[in-house]
A and B are shown apart, each in its own frame.
Chain A
C-alpha cells in the first residue's frame, strides 16, 4: 500500500462537551483529502484546538466519529498516533534539554535509534534552521526557535498526517514565511496531509488548499479560499464624503450600483457592488458622484476577504470575534494548547447530551 492512499481525515458529527460547559465542538463534519492542506480558521474559543486535540487522540470525543489516516480516533488511538505528527498550540519542550537531545529522545521513543536517530536529528535541525542552536538548551531559545523545533519534533517519524495548531502564532514574518514554505513542501513533495488551525486570515488564504471556518463549535463555511470569497460576490466600495450633507445624499447615488452597507471606516458610506456584467467600475461610480454634485475625500474598492466571509456567515468580524468569549486559548482551559494541562476531570468528561 502506498502511504498516500489513505492518509486523509474524515469527521462526522464530531461533538465535544466539557463538564459544566457549552459544546466546544458541536457536530462538525469535514473531509481532508490526502496531501491536502486544510486550513481550520476561526477566532479564539471557536473550537479549533479542541477539534485538533480530539483528532490527535489527546481528548476523548463526546459523540460522532472521526478517522485519521484510516484509523478511528476513538477505538484505534495507538494506530492514529503512529500515523500522525502534531505541533500543538502550546510549544511542548523541556527547557533542560537541547534541541538535538529533544529530537534524539523523540526519535528513540519512536524506535529510531543510533546513527539513524543522529542523521534524522541533523536533517531536521537543518530543515528548520536550528543547526547552530542544536546543542543549546531550549530554555534559551526564542519563541520562533521553539516553534521551529516543535515542528521538527512533529516530523521525526515522517508522519503521513500533520496537525499544526496555530503554528505561526508569535512568529516574526520571516519565520512565518519559512514555516509556510516548509508546510507547502511537506504537502507537495512528501504528500503529507496537513490540518492547520489558524486565526490569521492571510495564513489560511495563502497556505490552505481548502478552508473550514469554525465559529462557536460549528463549521459555518467550507471551500477553497476563492470559492468562499466568490460566495460573498462582488467587491465593496467605500466612499468618504467631504461634508455631512453629502454623506446624507450619497446612499441615493450609490444605491444604483448595489446594496448599501454599514461601512467599516468611520464617516464612510459603503456599497456592495452588484455582480455580473452590469458591475460598475470605480470610474463609473466617481462620475455618478460628480454628476450628483457631491464632493468626496476618498474612494476605495475593497476585494472580498475571508473576514468578509466570516462576517457574512456570523454577522461578526473574525478579527476580535473571539476576544470577549475566548476560553479556548486560555491556559488550562478546556481545549487549550496543552490537553493534559486541562484538569483530570475535564479528561473524564462524559457526554452530557
Chain B
C-alpha cells in the first residue's frame, strides 16, 4: 500500500488491492490492439487510405510517362519515379487515423474512463500512434508488393527496400504525432479534417511529380525547397530510383527528426493539459 505523503493531512488512505495496474508496455499493447481493431472494423475509415494512393499512382504513372523523356529526368519509367506517392500518402493517412482515434475517445468520454484506471497518460497516445503506424506499414508492404509485381526496380536492393519501409514507418510516425497533437489540443474531429487538405497540398507543392532541377517555375522550385515533404520524398525515392545517396537520406532523416520532435513535444504538452490530473 502506498503511504500518504507528509503534505496530506488526511488519514492513511485505502487502496483497492485489485487495482494494481499493469506495466506501460502492456498498457500500450492492450490499447494499440484496440486502436488497430477499431480502425480495421470500419472499412470506410481505412479503405480510402489504401485505394486513393493506388488511384493516384495509376493516374500519374500513365498520364505523366512522357515526362521521362525530359533530358535529365532521373528515371526511365514514371511509375518508378512516382511510386513514392503511395508511401507518402499512407504516412499522411496516419495523421488522421491516430488523431481520429484520440478524438473519438475524447468525444465519447472513453478517455476519462481510461484516465480513471492506472493507465499511464502517454500509453493511450503511444498506442494510437502505434496503431496508425501498423496500418501505414501494412499499406506500405502492399505498395512494395505492387511495385515488385509491376516491375519497379528498387535500386538500393533488398536492404534498400527495408530502409524504404523504415523511412515510411518513421514518416507515418512523424505525421501521426502531429495528428495526435491536434487531436489532444482541440478534441475535435473538425480540426483534424481541416489539417488534412493542407497536408495534401504540401504533397503536391513538393518534388512529387518533378525533380527540383527540372522545375521551370522559380516560385514552385522555391516552395519545394522550403517544403519539408520534398526532402521526405527525395529520401525515399532515392532508394528506389538511384540507390544509396547519403545526402538525400540524411536530409530526409533530419526532417523526420525535426517533425517528430515537434509532434512529440506538442503531444506531451497537450496531453498534460488535457489530463490535468493530480
Q: Within the assembled complex, what's the spacing in Å between the Cα atoms of A83 and B270?
A: 27
B194 to chain A, nearest CB (A): 16
Q: Is the CB of B277 within 8 A of A58?
A: yes
Further 15 A-B residue pairs, CB within 8 A, beyond A58-B112, A70-B14, A340-B109 = A58-B116, A70-B4, A72-B7, A72-B8, A77-B277, A94-B34, A94-B105, A97-B37, A110-B117, A111-B19, A113-B22, A158-B16, A338-B107, A340-B115, A343-B186
B134 in the interface (beta carbon within 8 A)? no
Question: Which residues of A are interface residues toward B (Cβ below 8 A)?
Answer: 1, 3, 5-7, 10, 56-60, 65, 67, 69-86, 88, 90-97, 105-106, 108-113, 153, 157-160, 337-341, 343-345, 347-348
* Residue numbers in B under 8 Å from A157 (CB-CB): 16, 18-19
Q: In the complex, which of the residues B8, B20, B42, B187 contacts A340, with contact meaning CB atoms closer than 8 Å? A: B187
B47 in the interface (beta carbon within 8 A)? no
Q: Within the assembled complex, what's the spacing in Å between the Cα atoms of A71 and B13?
A: 5
Interface of A is mostly: loop
Given A70-B4, A80-B278, A109-B117, are A96 and B14 neighbors across the interface (CB < 8 Å)?
no
B interface size (C-beta, 8 A)? 53
Cβ < 8 Å to A, chain B residues 37-82: 37-38, 41-42
B152 in the interface (beta carbon within 8 A)? no
B270 to chain A, nearest CB (A): 6
A279 to chain B, nearest CB (A): 46
Q: Is the CB of A5 within 8 A of B109?
A: no
Q: Within the assembled complex, what's the spacing in Å between the Cα atoms of A223 and B74?
A: 83
Q: Within the assembled complex, what's the spacing in Å between the Cα atoms of A157 and B117?
A: 9
Given A71-B10, A92-B113, A96-B38, are A57 and B18 neighbors across the interface (CB < 8 Å)?
no
Residue of A nearest to B22 (CB): A111
Q: Within the assembled complex, what's the spacing in Å between the Cα atoms of A92 and B277?
A: 18
Q: Within the assembled complex, what's the spacing in Å between the Cα atoms of A71 and B8?
A: 8
Most buried by B among A59, A65, A339: A339
Given A93-B108, A108-B30, are A347 and B276 neighbors across the interface (CB < 8 Å)?
yes
Sampled A-B contacts (13; CB under 8 Å): A56-B116, A57-B277, A60-B278, A72-B8, A76-B13, A76-B278, A90-B109, A105-B30, A108-B30, A338-B106, A340-B115, A340-B275, A347-B273
